[in-house]
Amino acid sequence: MTWRAGTACVAAIGLLILALRGCGGDPAVAVAAAVAPALRQPECVAHDAATVRGWLAQRLDYAPKFSEYTADGIHLIGAATADLNGRSIAILVYNVGAVRVALASWPGQTAPRDEAETPLKFVAWTAQGFEYWAFSTADAVVLRRFRASLQAHTRHPPG
């Protein structure tokens, strides 16, 4: 990526954050506003799950469930935390090909929906007592593949 493309990407995400903060009370919009800064720059930049787990353990009262997904072309690049309605949430940031995806997760079983309008595309699901919301500027196909890969690992965790 050239410096001009990188600068344009950072500027676009900055404008996106401002737009999200001005949106109404839809839960999807609230989660999108919480994860948007992490898409631009994770607080913890690390490519291994052990470092990210340790960093999150110092900041959260729960342990988000995640694994290594590099075999599926999903590469961990870092993590962040954010406040969502008074609750700290974990945000894992991945590169999926040339696209960045932010995955927010926290304990819960609310059935999220994928059809809300936000400036970011997203998919959401629940599994093993957690809510998962994946956001990106990518198209919905990339996000659905991302979700399917993570769900497959949840059903059959790596050895």
Please give the pLDDT value at position 28. Answer: 79
- Return mean pLDDT, the chain: 80
Range of the structural domain that residue 68 is part of: 3-155
Tell me the C-alpha to C-alpha distance, in Å, between residue 54 and each of 13, 37, 75, 78, 150. 28, 21, 18, 12, 21
More confident residue, 71 or 94: 94
Residue 18, pLDDT score:
38
Number of domains in the chain: 1
Helix or strand holding residue 146 (H, E): helix 140-155
pLDDT at 3 over 60: no
Q: What is the pLDDT of residue 140?
A: 83
Among 83-97, 102-116, 141-155, which is the least confidently predicted range? Answer: 102-116
Strand order in the sheet with 99-107: 44-45, 74-84, 87-96, 99-107, 130-136, 121-127
Structure confidence at residue 111 (pLDDT): 59
| CATH number, domain containing residue 128 | 3.30.200.100
pLDDT range class, residue 16, cuts 50, 70, 90: very low
pLDDT of residue 138: 85
pTM attached to this predicted model: 0.79
pLDDT category at 108 given cuts 50, 70, 90 is confident
What the block records as the tokens of 115 is 């059809």
Q: What is the pLDDT of residue 8?
A: 44
pLDDT at 15: 38
